Structure 1
């Protein structure tokens, strides 16, 4: 490192006093090409630095486009690693059993990064964990300068170029030499390539020094700055916030466990989305609805978006705009695509986000189980005109009474089992069809059948998960809150009907009784809420921190249900059909 003293330009003839002097680059700040960056990435047991631990640290030191060194170490978090984290990162309890603790790793990392500018993709996450670890271990946090590649990407990369600013997306777009894989050192190496690509773009914005880079990241457009006062009275509580225009119409509905922090973010330089800036420009008032906990806030958000359809909400605006697949109630049932279920619909699949997805599932089912596809209501006493499918032998022709009601009922029974329990009556024939086509080297046709199989399995898995909770008349669950109290939810037939919080030291069962007594009444066993609400509740219920307090019925899923084929969804694009067949056959 060279210390530059009095780096101002002066002519050889004198001091240049009273003359126009060209300032050197050093007058403008520290050139980016001279800065030593340490690009860091962490793997952790969770997302909150106050309740989760680091499992791996990876870092790469670079300057002027050249790699100067690397740092990598697994870390024993001192707590079990959740199976979902292991599936994501590949880091297991066994791998970290003999690894050093963060108390041993952190000093070495801090020495490696000393005097450098820290870089991370979503820097608040990584820096927050490092700072929290330093605090717990009693080490002084050096307060390094920090660059966030997410912030830079939001300002430098248009949405037309990439759909999002995730590390994997940017790495692919910039053709990084390393693909991120949720391992710390690999992700840090990928971030290095992303950083260099972003720095190249900074030049066209007149950014050549660290000081200019910092200002570039902090720049807040005037239209955001002048409306910051709208966020002043937003409480730092869980809840839903609504941006309203001059006519008091909802423009945007959002949710957060800390509304104050989230709402303030819309008025910072970090908010670069054009639509959100336009939304803020039109906002004249921000309304808030405080909630007992995060789950209630998420559910209220979904319901308000569905009710008001704010123009700046892209997702969840039309939860009613879905399709369901049901078996009709008649002597010779058929599959029918409907927009809404009714009380008499005992056997159904869905919901489907599009009619095309529902039709693909119908194609999968009728290829395995030859149900009739005509829409005529058939009589058991009087024959009806025969359809083309029956003439081609692709339908058992109940229209001509060529199959009895009892025999047809056996076909229907196989389908209802596939829908609500074991999917093998559909999976087995389709796998055999794939195998036959692949053996004949008709690979495109085989892949098409596999796509239909995947469509059916995706629907069956979703249906069985929803059915498992919607059939329960009432259940109560609780989760420890940050203040060591309890967040409590009461759910009936898949709908959140009451939510509350029991303060630390109080009897939570007293709160439970009040919430149950004052909960919304739900009639019937059909999904009592939109599927996105029930699935949000399921996600909360399945969290390891959630405790089931009581339930009116057992909460269970079929032992041989569609969920056991969940792996196939992830392999849907696998070009090797033989691998798919072998693995699927092993589950039949």
Structure 2
């Protein structure tokens, strides 16, 4: 869906024209360049539209001796500043002179640094005015074959300024004014017409990137999703429209505009903007709808510049198989095969850590062979070490092994406590022996298991509800969402004066039809279901209607902060099936 008809540009879109911008060009002389140096002279010129409207100049008593080399360079001696006012007397007058103006300086970091430090020492807050550095501006405008460097004297000579800098504050400020005007004439040919353009230019934003900022003016200032697109050849050489990047924002126009400014510093985004040929937008009714649409578009198009669009299928699940002698297996997807699943895990390592934690608590077999009661085998090393109950050689009967695996299923489905308390003695021993790295590995395994159990319960609870209709009050009204099997099926907003229940009924009628998914899985991607769950769990969300049971087992998970306490609890492991 393309963005609606262009809106009339606001004054913010137009920017502040350079012709009407007031500049105060400032120059300082100091006792040195270090943080302990002091100001000895301030000179400034106020200009607007190319005309000088005021000047400011004063010597400043630095309350310290001026080094001889500095006196030779600037011509300012100790005798000249002995009767001059201190910086505490000068600074308020200078800020009044510069009120409402854009500050300009040659090598602005030097001058602004002294002004900031002086203000901080005097408890005078820095008003944070816009600052233009003529050094950065010159580097962006002039080629190396034009000037050998960007020193003020070099630029003054290059532009034939009527004032020659001489290391005195007011004279150098006057020279900088002429250099500034000459540089502004040059950047005007590059499309720099406003103060905003000028600041972006000095920050190194390329003209090609800035030229595309007009794309944002046609976009809505509303919540939704935006896509950067380009017409590029595919593998067959056919030029097709491709989605390069998908994003979301509460204000599409403002967010897209930032991609064409120095605020966007990611190198891959600059490349994306350079390649793209346009921006499209879809307005959404609620922020959650925008989040979900962003995820769906990323999944559909796999944009090359969205990091999370790469390898979304790399999820792992820990499965307790459904067979005569169940075992754990790490799989890539959930199937309706009677197995019990835990996850998903973003990395295989997490699934392995959770599996180790479960094997530490329950001596299930770890071999992958198919076992038979009629043909006993030879126990493996794990069986000899007591880490497996050895169903392969008949040490336990099938009924006894089934009882053990049923206890494990209860842990996976309802009660995590047996796994945590099973490591109590081991952790206490490791800590007493100061084997903290080993204790950390055990705790990491338990943490992976607890996180997976929490994620599993959260997803299963939401996926088990055929329909949930919920609402939350916001500044614009009541946000209303219809959720079916964990998938966002509809979104609506009840504006002030509208009846939320009536809006909710209309949303239910228009909601997407969602088929019942595989048990334990939502009818959406894992990430979408988690976004929906996060919204439902927000304070202030009210359930208008629910079909099914949105609930968790009492001991199906714990807070990770409570993990050490549970793992080291003095109580014995809870019996299987409790909670």
Name the TM-score, length of structure 1 as normaliser: 0.63
* 2:254 maps to 1:261: yes
1:131 equivalent in structure 2: none
Residue among 257, 261, 276 paired with 2:269: 276
Whether the 8 Å CA contact 1:478–1:548 is kept in 2: the answer is yes
- Cα distance in 1, alignment partners of residues 535 and 570 from structure 2: 30
Residue among 134, 145, 148 paired with 2:129: 145
**Divergent runs of 4+, >6 A:** 8-12, 583-588
- Cα distance in 1, alignment partners of residues 397 and 119 from structure 2: 76
Alignment deviations for residues 496-533 of structure 1 (CA, whole Å, 9 cap, x no partner): 12222233322222332232233222213332222111
- Cα distance in 1, alignment partners of residues 327 and 471 from structure 2: 42
* 2:216 maps to 1:223: no
Q: What is the CA-CA distance between 1:386 and the residue it aligns to?
A: 3.9
Q: What is the CA-CA distance between 1:428 and the residue it aligns to?
A: 0.9
1:494 equivalent in structure 2: 486
Residue among 244, 266, 273 paired with 2:229: 244
2:370 equivalent in structure 1: 377
- Cα distance in 1, alignment partners of residues 119 and 407 from structure 2: 63
Residue among 314, 328, 336 paired with 1:343: 336
- Cα distance in 2, alignment partners of residues 487 and 461 from structure 1: 27
Whether the 8 Å CA contact 1:319–1:532 is kept in 2: the answer is no
Task: Map 1:361-510 onto structure 2 (within 5 A).
Answer: 361-384=354-377, 386-484=379-477, 486-510=478-502
- Cα distance in 1, alignment partners of residues 326 and 354 from structure 2: 17
* CA 517–298 in structure 1, closer or farther in 2 if over 3 Å, else same: same
Point out where structure 2 has 5 or more consecutive residues left out of the alignment.
1-38, 44-54, 60-73, 77-102, 132-194, 233-240, 575-579
* 2:304 maps to 1:311: yes
* CA 232–384 in structure 1, closer or farther in 2 if over 3 Å, else same: farther
* CA 65–445 in structure 1, closer or farther in 2 if over 3 Å, else same: farther
- Cα distance in 2, alignment partners of residues 511 and 319 from structure 1: 35
Task: Map 1:93-242 onto structure 2 (within 5 A).
Answer: 116-118=125-127, 145=129, 215=199, 219=203, 220-242=205-227
Whether the 8 Å CA contact 1:497–1:520 is kept in 2: the answer is yes
Whether the 8 Å CA contact 1:415–1:425 is kept in 2: the answer is no
Q: What is the CA-CA distance between 1:387 and the residue it aligns to?
A: 3.4
Secondary structure of the 1:557 match is coil
Point out where structure 1 has 5 or more consecutive residues left out of the alignment.
13-24, 37-62, 70-114, 119-143, 148-210, 572-578
* 2:547 maps to 1:552: yes
* CA 381–237 in structure 1, closer or farther in 2 if over 3 Å, else same: farther
- Cα distance in 2, alignment partners of residues 253 and 462 from structure 1: 26
2:525 equivalent in structure 1: 530
Q: Which has the larger radius of gyration?
A: 2
Alignment deviations for residues 204-241 of structure 1 (CA, whole Å, 9 cap, x no partner): xxxxxxx9xx9479633312211112222211222211
Whether the 8 Å CA contact 1:472–1:494 is kept in 2: the answer is yes
* CA 470–346 in structure 1, closer or farther in 2 if over 3 Å, else same: farther
Flag the structure with more relative contact order, 1 or 2, with Cα contacts below 8 A and sequence separation at least 6. Answer: 2
Pairwise CA RMSD of aligned residues? Answer: 3.3
2:514 equivalent in structure 1: 521
Whether the 8 Å CA contact 2:422–2:573 is kept in 1: the answer is no
* 2:111 maps to 1:31: yes
- Cα distance in 1, alignment partners of residues 570 and 515 from structure 2: 40
Secondary structure of the 1:230 match is helix
Q: What is the CA-CA distance between 1:276 and the residue it aligns to?
A: 0.5
Whether the 8 Å CA contact 2:119–2:125 is kept in 1: the answer is no
- Cα distance in 1, alignment partners of residues 251 and 304 from structure 2: 24
* CA 319–587 in structure 1, closer or farther in 2 if over 3 Å, else same: farther
Secondary structure of the 2:481 match is strand
Secondary structure of the 1:267 match is coil
Q: What is the CA-CA distance between 1:452 and the residue it aligns to?
A: 1.2
Q: What is the CA-CA distance between 1:587 and the residue it aligns to?
A: 11
2:537 equivalent in structure 1: 542
Secondary structure of the 2:550 match is coil
Q: What is the CA-CA distance between 1:551 and the residue it aligns to?
A: 0.9
Q: What is the CA-CA distance between 1:66 and the residue it aligns to?
A: 6.5
